[in-house]
Amino acid sequence: MGFIAESFRTALSLIFSADQDVFAAVRTSVGVAAWSVLLAAVFGIPVGLGVGVNQFPLKRVVIVVLNSLMAMPTVVLGLLVYGLVSRQGPLGGRGLLFTPNAMVIGQTLLAVPIVANYTLSVIKGADSRIVPTALTLGAGSLRSMMQLTREVRFGIMAAVIAGFGRVISEVGVAMMLGGNIRWYTRTMTTAIALETSKGEFAFGLALGIILMVVSFSINILLTFMQESHQP
């Protein structure tokens, strides 16, 4: 018990003294996750909207594939992207391996199915009168889709937050594609995993606390925004 209390005190001291190592990992984590989830939103939201609104052959297959991709093990995804960006891979010449860009690619691929699936669920649950109403008021297909998106914006926001939660807390992709390089690709999760295994429990605990604070803050912010905009 004394060990945990002492580690907790040290962790708080690292946080409040703005320890460079701690905050470098926080910056990398948040930065990579933010870019990843932004790109995942750019690709995932239209996919979810398209699949949700349109009827086409093999729609069920697409939904099953999207669902299955949500359960993709992060290490396997990291492995696949590693194959692409490693020196012998098709993107090897771009020098992406062990850079934040490689982590963004991997985490984007991780988050796209999550954002797309949540968006799809939101669209399925949306009022079926939204699009016909927009169309009969003279809106084109694109404007109707934009109105539909606007009406379900809080659900889509939840989809993006779910994607953010997934990427900021994952280890596999960050470890395999980032390589845990200090002050460069070291994220909170890779640092927690590796530093704790080296006996630096207090350092891991400090990052764990920050990781939880970041995750909770985003969820609290989302809940607050949803409730304050409820009709």
Partner 1 sequence: MKPPQYRLTEIRAFYRANLALEVDELTIASGHLHILAGPNGSGKSTLLGILAFLMKPGHGQIAFAGTQVDWQRNQLASLRKQVTLLHQHSFLFSGTVFANVAFGPRARGMAKEDVQRTVGEALAMVGLDGFESRNARHLSGGEARRVALARALACQPEVLLLDEPLAHVDKESAQIIETLVISLSSRGTTVVMSSHNEQLGQRTESRVIRLLDGKVERIVEDNGQAPGRAVDGYRYAKL
Number of helical H runs and strand E runs in the chain: 11, 0
Q: Is the dihedral of CA 178, 183, 184, 189 positive or negative?
A: positive
Stretch that binds partner 1, among 15-23, 63-71, 135-143, 219-227 (CB under 8 A): 135-143
The size of the chain, in residues, is 231
Applying CB under 8 A, among 79, 135, 218, 222 the residue interacting with partner 1 is: 135
122 binds partner 1 (CB under 8 A): no
- For the CB of residue 146, give the shortest distance to partner 1 in the complex, in Å: 11
134 binds partner 1 (CB under 8 A): yes
Backbone angles phi, psi at 217, to 5 degrees: -60, -45
Stretch that binds partner 1, among 91-99, 110-118, 122-130, 216-224 (CB under 8 A): 122-130
Residues 6+ apart with CB under 8 A from 70: 113, 114, 117
219 binds partner 1 (CB under 8 A): no
Contact 167, 107 (CB under 8 A): yes
Shorter beta-carbon distance to partner 1: residue 146 or 194:
146
Residues 141-180 close enough to bind partner 1 by CB under 8 A: 141, 143, 147, 150-151
The dihedral formed by the CA atoms of 137, 142, 147 and 150, expressed in degrees to the nearest 10:
-170
Stretch that binds partner 1, among 64-72, 93-101, 113-121, 128-136 (CB under 8 A): 128-136
Judged by the rule CB under 8 A, the positions of this chain that interact with partner 1 are 127, 129-130, 132-141, 143, 147, 150-151, 231
